Homo-oligomer: A and B are copies of this chain.
Amino acid sequence: MKPSNHEFFMQQAIRLAFEGMRNGEGGPFGAVIVKNGEIIGQGNNRVATTLDPTAHAEIVAIREACRRLGHFQLDGCILYTSCEPCPMCLGAIYWARPRRFFFACTRADAAAIDFDDNFIYEEIDLPLEERKIPAIPLLREEGLKAFEEWRGMPNKFVY
């Protein structure tokens, strides 16, 4: 793929960011997912209209592409996002496993317009007891029983 194609697809992601923002759907973020030179999923931030805090551009695009492919993994795909993914979206990218991704704005750029991406990256690195949203261990032994049953299950769906 020539560099100009990467720029074309990134421009589509940025166009979606503009459109979604101007339509009042959410923040200025867009993403497209490409396989074999074709867009198979796209999205923009839709938190404002769906009231779903997980409706970030990358998540919307990943869900659409996986529906289209009928598969929970984006084998051989490339994701283009108008901004470096927040930890939620980066995690989603790792679960979906595209080959690589391109991003335009950085997490610092997002922080400069008051989005929490950078703050969440900082929180992830803190010990549980120092985080702003406390994370408290409880009933690990009971929880482990489900993991033990999973370990012994034949023909389980591995992802």
Question: What residues make up the interface of A, taking CB atoms closer than 8 Å to B?
Answer: 6-7, 10-11, 14, 17-18, 21, 24, 26-28, 30, 47-48, 51-54, 59, 62-63, 66-67, 70-73, 80, 82-84, 86-106, 109-110, 112-114, 116, 119-121, 123-125, 133-140, 142-147, 149-151, 153, 156-159
Contacts and interface: CB of A to CB of B under 8 A. Distances in A.
A135 B105 contact: no
Given A7-B139, A48-B159, A54 B95 contact: yes
The 4 A-B pairs at the shortest CB distance, nearest first, are namely: A88-B91, A104-B143, A87-B91, A48-B157
B100 A133 contact: yes
Instruction: State the number of copies, please.
Output: 2
A101 B135 contact: yes
A67 B142 CA distance: 30
22 contacts: A6-B138, A14-B139, A14-B145, A18-B146, A51-B66, A51-B71, A52-B72, A53-B66, A53-B72, A53-B73, A53-B95, A54-B96, A83-B143, A87-B87, A88-B88, A88-B89, A95-B120, A100-B136, A101-B136, A105-B140, A105-B144, A109-B144
Contacts of A119: 94
Output the residue of A48, A52, A91, A156 with the most chain B CB within 10 A: A91
